Amino acid sequence: MQIYDIKDPSQIKNLSMKQLDVLAQDIRHFLIQNISKTGGHLSSNLGIVEITIAMHYVFSSPKDKMIFDVGHQSYVHKILTGRSTKFATLRKLNGLSGYQKRSESPHDCWEAGHSSTSLSAALGYAIARDVQHQNYEVIAVIGDGALAGGMSLEALNDIGAQKRKMIIIFNDNAMSISKNRGGVEKRITSIRSSHLYRSMKNDIKVTLPHNKMGDETLKVFSSIRDRIKSGLIDAPLFQEFNLDYLGPVDGHNIPALIKVFEAAKEHDGPIVVHVRTKKGKGYRYAEQDKIGQWHGVSPFNIQTGQPLMKLPINEKTWSNIISDGLIELAKKNKDVVAITPAMAQGSKLLKFAKLFPDRFFDCGIAEEHAITMAGAMSLGGLRPFVSIYSSFLQRAYDQMNHDLGRMDLPVVIGIDRAGLVGDDGETHQGVFDISFLRSIPNLILSQPKDAKEAYDLLYTAFATKHPFCIRYPRGQTAVTDKIDFHLISIGSWERFDIGSDPKAIIISYGPDVDRIIHTIHENNLSMIVVNARFFKPIDQEMCKELFNLDLPIYVYETDVKIGGLSSAVLEYQNEIENHIHILGIDDHYVQHGSIRSLRKKEHIDLESLFREIERYGQD
Ligand X SMILES: CC(=O)[C@@H](O)[C@H](O)COP(=O)(O)O
Ligand Y SMILES: Cc1ncc(C[n+]2csc(CCOP(=O)(O)OP(=O)(O)O)c2C)c(N)n1
Give the residue ranges of the annotated binding site for Mg(2+). Answer: 144, 173
Q: How far is CA 235 from CA 192, 239, 550, in A?
A: 9, 6, 71
Q: Which is nearer to ligand Y, 184 or 517 (CB)?
A: 184
Q: Does 279 bind ligand X (CB under 6 A)?
A: no
Residues annotated catalytic, as ranges = 279, 367, 395
If you ran DSSP here, which 8-state letter would residue 437 be given?
A: H
Q: Does 383 bind ligand X (CB under 6 A)?
A: no
424 binds, among ligand X, ligand Y, Mg ion, none (CB under 5 to 8 A by kind): ligand X
Q: Which is nearer to ligand Y, 424 or 512 (CB)?
A: 424
Concatenate the DSSP letters of all residues of 316-380 into one string. EEHHHHHHHHHHHHHHH-TTEEEEESS-TTTTT-HHHHHH-GGGEEE--S-HHHHHHHHHHHHHT
Q: Taking a C-beta distance cutoff of 8 angstroms, is the pair 557, 565 a contact?
A: yes
Strands 315-317 and 476-478: antiparallel
- Please state, in angstroms and rounded to a whole number, the distance separating the CA atoms of residues 373 and 147: 20
Q: Which of 600, 547, 601, 597 is nearest to 571 (CA)?
A: 547
Distance from CA of residue 213 to its chain's centroid?
Answer: 41
Q: Does 9 bind ligand X (CB under 6 A)?
A: no
73 binds, among ligand X, ligand Y, Mg ion, none (CB under 5 to 8 A by kind): ligand Y
Q: How many CB atoms are closer than 10 A to CB 64?
A: 19
Q: Does 227 bind ligand X (CB under 6 A)?
A: no
Q: Which is nearer to ligand X, 325 or 346 (CB)?
A: 346
Q: Which is nearer to ligand Y, 115 or 460 (CB)?
A: 115
User: Is 474 strand, coil or helix?
Assistant: coil
- Please state, in angstroms and rounded to a whole number, the distance separating the CA atoms of residues 282 and 480: 41
Q: Which is nearer to ligand X, 247 or 341 (CB)?
A: 341
Candidates 64, 250, 424, 512; binder of ligand X (CB under 6 A) is 424
- Please state, in angstroms and rounded to a whole number, the distance separating the CA atoms of residues 274 and 502: 67
To Mg ion, the closest distance from the beta carbon of 144 in angstroms equals: 4
Give every CB contact of residue 166 below 8 A, 6+ residues apart in sequence.
122, 123, 125, 126, 137, 138, 139, 140, 159, 270, 271
Q: Does 145 bind Mg ion (CB under 5 A)?
A: yes
User: Is 446 strand, coil or helix?
Assistant: strand
User: Is 260 strand, coil or helix?
Assistant: helix
To ligand Y, the closest distance from the beta carbon of 329 in angstroms equals: 25
- Please state, in angstroms and rounded to a whole number, the distance separating the CA atoms of residues 146 and 460: 35
Alpha carbon distance, N-terminus to C-terminus of the chain:
82
Q: Which is nearer to ligand Y, 241 or 462 (CB)?
A: 241
Q: Does 175 bind Mg ion (CB under 5 A)?
A: yes
How many residues at the interface with ligand X, by CB under 6 A? Answer: 9
To ligand X, the closest distance from the beta carbon of 550 in angstroms equals: 43
Contacting range for Mg ion; rule: CB under 5 A; set: 144-152, 158-166, 229-237, 581-589: 144-152
- Please state, in angstroms and rounded to a whole number, the distance separating the CA atoms of residues 509 and 520: 16
Candidates 165, 316, 383, 417; binder of ligand X (CB under 6 A) is 417
What residues line the site for ligand Y (CB under 6 A)?
44, 70, 72-73, 114-115, 143-146, 171, 173, 175-177, 279, 342, 365, 367, 392, 395
> Which residue positions form the known binding site?
72, 113-115, 144-146, 173, 283, 367
Q: Taking a C-beta distance cutoff of 8 angstroms, is the pair 56, 130 a contact?
A: no
Concatenate the DSSP letters of all residues of 267-297 into one string. -SSEEEEEEE--TTTT-HHHHH-SSSTTTSB
Q: Does 143 bind Mg ion (CB under 5 A)?
A: yes
Q: Does 346 bind Mg ion (CB under 5 A)?
A: no
Q: Which is nearer to ligand Y, 49 or 546 (CB)?
A: 49
Candidates 295, 348, 395, 533; binder of ligand X (CB under 6 A) is 295
To ligand X, the closest distance from the beta carbon of 336 in angstroms equals: 24
Contacting range for ligand X; rule: CB under 6 A; set: 152-160, 165-173, 417-425, 589-597: 417-425
Residues 64-103 binding ligand X (CB under 6 A) are 70, 72
Q: Which is nearer to ligand Y, 169 or 246 (CB)?
A: 169
365 binds, among ligand X, ligand Y, Mg ion, none (CB under 5 to 8 A by kind): ligand Y
To ligand Y, the closest distance from the beta carbon of 364 in angstroms equals: 8
How many residues at the interface with Mg ion, by CB under 5 A? Answer: 5
Candidates 38, 173, 372, 427; binder of Mg ion (CB under 5 A) is 173
- Please state, in angstroms and rounded to a whole number, the distance separating the CA atoms of residues 618 and 535: 35
Candidates 47, 251, 280, 296; binder of ligand X (CB under 6 A) is 296
Residue ranges that bind Mg ion, judged by CB under 5 A: 143-145, 173, 175
Interface residues toward ligand X, by CB under 6 A: 70, 72, 295-296, 346, 417, 421, 424, 474
